[in-house]
Every structure is written in structure tokens, then in C-alpha cells.
């Protein structure tokens, strides 16, 4: 018998002692196999409900090209907005609101809406600098368009501009005029 009071360290039990002995490893493997649904006897039994034999083929995903129209931290769009523009009148309205913060707002860039669309992500008004948004990829799956964007926020304690900002990114999506669009925040 070992008298633990005579030793400098108090023994602790952790998972490492299991791996030092072959029966410990065997016990772990056995427990993993017994909990695996595909390995159990229940998985080999026929199901009570007949499964559908119709299989649906997923449409292939295609990455679409896009060009940045404007990106920055100052916009007249002061509320959070994710938008897709499909026509010149809608584009003119959005651009006027976006550019209204500038003293001499430039005209809206030319977009051929018979072939392309415009997508924009506006974070709304933020209390300081250090915020950013970027459209990072646009994928087409069948008739659906997924616009993926990434938001950046300042870390606590960061030195940032002490002014109101309105981060935004506006892009022209090439060849996507008739697709339905949705937005997804990248992780």
C-alpha cells in the first residue's frame, strides 16, 4: 500500500490512464461502436415506412462574377439593408439615397439591367469606426442566387474613429438578371 501523504504530489485521475492499458482502449472502441446508429442491429432492420424511390438531383452550384461599384464607411443609407436592384428607376432611387451624404453626389454608375443586377449590403449607422462589410462570394444554384457577405466589428478596447459610420458594399452581379436572390452572412 502506498501512503500518498508521504509523496509531494496528490494523484489525480484523468482520461490518460485509460490509454496506457489495452483494455482501456478496447472499452472505448466498444462503447463507440455500440452507440453508432449505422452499426446497431436496429439499422439493419427494414423500416416500417417505405422510403421514396424518387431521387432529386441537386442543381450544380456556379460561382458568379461581380464587380464592386462602391464600398466604404459613409452612406446616406442609415438603416440596415440587404437589397437587390433589378431596374434603372430602383437603381437611381437607391443611389440617390446612398450618395446623399456627399456634397456633390456623383451620378449613378451605368448598369445594363438586361444582363446584370446590383446587390448591396448596408450595415446601417454605427456609433464608431472599425465596422466593415464585404460581399465575399455569389453563388447560383438553379434559379437561386446566394449573396454571401462578411461583417467586421471592432474588438473591445480597439482604437477606432469616434464618428458615426455607415458601412456598405455595393456590387454589380454579372449575368444574373432573372435570378431570385437571398443573403447569407459568412461565418
User: φ, ψ for residue 70 (rounded to 5)?
Assistant: -160, 145
What are the grid coordinates assigned to 154, written together? Answer: 471592432
Q: Looking at the structure, do residues 39 and 120 belong to the same domain, yes or no?
A: no
What percent of the chain is helix, strand and coil (3-state, nearest 5)?
Answer: 20, 30, 50
Higher-confidence position of 187 and 122: 122
Q: Which 8-state DSSP code applies to residue 14?
A: -
Nearest to 148 by CA among 52, 82, 79, 60: 82
Does 4 fall in a domain? no
Nearest to 168 by CA among 181, 149, 148: 149
Q: Looking at the structure, do residues 37 and 93 belong to the same domain, yes or no?
A: no
Q: Looking at the structure, do residues 96 and 147 belong to the same domain, yes or no?
A: yes
SS (H, E, C) 53-103: CCCCCCCCEEECCEEEEEEECCCCCCCCEEEEECCHHHHHHHHHHHHCCCC
pLDDT for 28 equals 57
| Triad 164, 147, 150: Cα angle to 5° | 45
Does 5 fall in a domain? no
This prediction's pTM: 0.69
What are the grid coordinates assigned to 65, written together? Answer: 462574377
Q: Looking at the structure, do residues 77 and 21 belong to the same domain, yes or no?
A: no
Q: Looking at the structure, do residues 88 and 36 belong to the same domain, yes or no?
A: no
Residue 36 is part of which domain span? Answer: 14-44
Query: Tell me: the pLDDT tens digits for 27-81?
Result: 555 555 555 555 444 444 444 444 444 445 577 889 999 999 999 999 999 999 9
Evaluate if residue 116 carries a pLDDT over 50: yes
Q: Looking at the structure, do residues 26 and 100 belong to the same domain, yes or no?
A: no
Q: Looking at the structure, do residues 125 and 97 belong to the same domain, yes or no?
A: yes
Gap between the Cα atoms of 55 and 53, Å rounded: 6
Asked if residues 44 and 37 have their Cβ atoms less than 8 Å apart, the reply is: no
User: φ, ψ for residue 78 (rounded to 5)?
Assistant: -100, 0
- Cell 454571401, located at residue: 148
Query: Tell me: the pLDDT tens digits for 106-115?
Result: 999 999 999 9
Q: Looking at the structure, do residues 79 and 20 belong to the same domain, yes or no?
A: no
Question: What is the average pLDDT value for the chain, to the nearest integer?
Answer: 81
Does 37 fall in a domain? yes
What 3-state DSSP class applies to 174? coil
Amino acid at each position: 500500500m502506498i501512503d500518498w501523504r508521504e509523496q509531494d504530489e496528490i494523484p489525480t485521475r484523468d482520461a490518460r490512464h485509460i490509454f496506457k492499458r489495452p483494455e482501456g482502449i478496447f472499452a472505448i472502441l466498444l462503447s463507440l461502436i455500440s452507440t453508432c446508429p449505422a452499426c446497431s442491429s436496429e439499422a439493419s432492420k427494414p423500416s416500417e415506412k417505405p422510403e421514396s424511390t424518387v431521387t432529386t438531383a441537386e442543381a450544380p452550384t456556379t460561382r458568379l462574377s461581380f464587380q464592386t461599384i462602391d464600398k466604404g464607411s459613409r452612406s446616406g443609407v442609415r438603416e440596415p439593408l440587404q437589397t437587390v436592384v433589378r431596374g434603372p428607376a430602383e437603381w437611381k432611387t437607391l443611389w440617390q439615397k446612398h450618395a446623399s451624404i456627399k456634397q456633390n453626389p456623383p451620378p449613378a454608375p451605368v448598369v445594363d439591367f438586361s444582363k446584370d443586377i446590383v446587390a448591396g449590403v448596408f450595415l446601417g449607422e454605427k456609433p464608431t469606426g472599425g465596422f466593415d462589410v464585404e460581399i465575399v462570394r455569389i453563388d447560383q444554384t438553379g434559379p437561386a442566387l446566394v449573396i454571401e457577405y462578411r461583417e467586421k466589428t471592432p474588438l473591445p478596447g480597439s482604437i477606432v474613429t469616434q464618428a458615426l459610420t455607415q458601412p456598405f458594399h455595393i456590387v454589380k452581379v454579372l449575368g444574373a438578371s432573372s435570378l431570385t436572390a437571398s443573403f447569407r452572412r459568412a461565418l
